Amino acid sequence: MKRFIGLLQFMTRIPINADFGIDEEFHKSIVYFPLVGFVIGLISFIVGSLGVKIFDPFLTSILIVACEVVLTGGLHIDGLGDTFDAIYSNRDKERMLEIMKDSRLGTNSLLAILFLVLIKIGLLNSIISSNLLWIVIFMPVIARLGVIVMLYKTVTPRKVGMGNMFIGKATLSMFIITIIYSAVIIIVMGKFIFLSSNILVIKLLSSILAVMLFDYLFKNHIYKKIDGVTGDILGCTIEIGELIFLLYSYIIIMI
């Protein structure tokens, strides 16, 4: 529980009046990644449920996206911007890593963030309009489950970095544990609270494979560029993972 709270403090800006610090085995908190996503998802769902009573689906979608950014302190979306600025700069590996550390906003970063936010709002708008707001709960769960692909049998090209405590530290047992309890959360929340159809629950579970497949392909793409994974890449993967989940849900569940 201490590691879960520590990870919640590390990955979000949720005010928690406790200081558990980061020990040498903090990487074991990897198993709690989806659980942190579950907390974010529940809060986003509550915000969306309140918002839809006052605003239309479009404005509610904006509130949900803004809520996530506030909850994470923009940490992951910053990683998205830094990743696109660096990886698609057509420079060599060392220069890419330097660009990733640069706090200035480049054109690739601006466009990546802009299109991600716009597409996310558009998909959420359609989902909410179809009375499927509950999908929001699982969006950060599955994205953070999928990012563990980036932590399994990987290395980092940097000697120092926020992501170094996790990169390459995920074990097969961690992978299995997170998949199992994430699936349980989806089944329990989906089957007994939000959904009435086993088929919908199965479709929701299948989104795990879709997100993980994308993350695996993205990892291979990144490795060709910089021979490893960084903290910015992890944040980027989470953001795009949420988008892939929403897109998959839109196609498989709604259509």
pLDDT tens-digit profile of 99-117? 998 878 888 999 999 999 9
- Residues 232-247 have a mean pLDDT of 96
Token code pair at residue 75:
């940490």
Instruction: Write out the DSSP string of 127-142.
Output: HHHTT-TTHHHHHHHH
pLDDT at 59 exceeding the cut of 70: yes
Please tell me the distance from the alpha carbon of residue 227 to that of residue 29, in angstroms, as a whole number. 25
Please tell me the distance from the alpha carbon of residue 156 to that of residue 134, in angstroms, as a whole number. 36
Q: Which 3 state secondary structure label does DSSP give 152? A: strand
- Helices 33-54 and 2-11, packing angle to 10 deg: 60
Please tell me the distance from the alpha carbon of residue 213 to that of residue 225, in angstroms, as a whole number. 19
Top-confidence residue, 204 or 61: 61
Contact by Cβ (8 Å): 190, 201: yes
Write the pLDDT tens digit of every residue in 147-194. Answer: 999 999 999 988 877 788 999 999 999 999 999 999 999 988 877 766
pLDDT score for 198: 78
pTM of the model: 0.94
Other CB atoms within a 10 A radius of the CB of residue 72 amount to 21
The dihedral built from the CA positions of residue 210, 192, 179 and 38, taken in this order, carries a sign that is positive
pLDDT score for 21: 65
pLDDT score for 249: 92
Write the pLDDT tens digit of every residue in 22-42. Answer: 777 888 899 999 999 999 999
Residue type, 7: L
